[in-house]
């Protein structure tokens, strides 16, 4: 197993281990997280899928381990969030030369909602949009073309515009157990030896091991 390779599947150039394609310091991705794109080059994820993400804002995209991100999923950052506390939503500070404003106040054109944080083992569906400042818990599922404007609890399925909870994947007791064992932080040998239990959702056997 090699989480540092770009293309994990022989002959498949549409699927990448995302961490191996990232060059920008304000995007952090965990091991084995995959991105599939059948429309564009998946190695260009940080340019095509992470929007309005400029260093001046100092916000980050943080994605955990073993996540599955479908084609066209987008992560919308602060600069796409025009300021609504102003009388006008027009970004005057951005055009400081035109309006004789202080160029050091460019970020006043928008409201900074902070980092987008995606937990571990999260599945983000086709063309879903994750808005700025949103935190998605471990094991969550984001439905196709959902627009996520609020935090999503662990092991929760959401969908729609704006995204709303559809159901929990497991009982609250089982969810607590999954969060406690954090199998995604195990070493490769332990994950391999427990792979059938992970795939079968056998939480009791995972706890035993």
Q: Are 181 and 158 in contact (CB under 8 A)?
A: no
- What end-to-end distance do the CA atoms of the chain give, in Å? 21
82 is catalytic: yes
Domains of the chain: 15-169 (2.160.10.10), 171-209 (no CATH)
Q: 96-127 pLDDT, tens per residue?
A: 999 999 999 999 888 888 999 999 999 999 99
Q: Which long-range contacts (CB under 8 A, 24 or more apart) does 161-167 make?
A: none
Candidate list 40, 60, 82, 168, residue with the active-site label: 82
Q: 152-197 pLDDT, tens per residue?
A: 999 999 999 999 999 999 999 999 999 999 999 999 999 999 999 8
Residue 100, both tokens: 């004789």
């Amino acid at each position: 197993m090699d989480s540092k390779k770009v293309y994990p599947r022989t002959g498949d150039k549409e699927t990448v281990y995302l961490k191996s394609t990232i060059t920008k310091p304000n995007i952090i991705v965990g091991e084995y997280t995959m991105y599939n794109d059948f429309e564009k080059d998946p190695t260009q994820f940080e340019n095509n899928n992470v929007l309005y993400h400029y260093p001046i804002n100092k916000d980050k995209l943080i994605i955990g381990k073993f996540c599955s991100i479908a084609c066209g999923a987008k992560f919308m950052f602060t600069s796409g969030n025009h300021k609504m506390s102003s009388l006008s939503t027009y970004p005057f500070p951005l055009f400081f030369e035109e309006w004789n404003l202080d160029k050091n106040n460019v970020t006043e054109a928008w409201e900074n909602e902070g980092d987008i944080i995606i937990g571990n083992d999260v599945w983000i569906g086709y063309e879903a949009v994750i808005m700025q400042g949103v935190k998605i818990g471990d094991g969550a599922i984001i439905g196709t073309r959902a627009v996520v404007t609020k935090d999503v609890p662990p092991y929760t399925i959401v969908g729609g515009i704006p995204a709303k909870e559809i159901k929990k994947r497991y009982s609250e007791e089982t969810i607590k157990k999954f969060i406690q064992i954090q199998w995604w932080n195990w070493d490769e040998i332990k994950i391999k030896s427990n792979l059938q239990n992970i795939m079968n959702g056998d939480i009791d056997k995972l706890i035993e091991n």
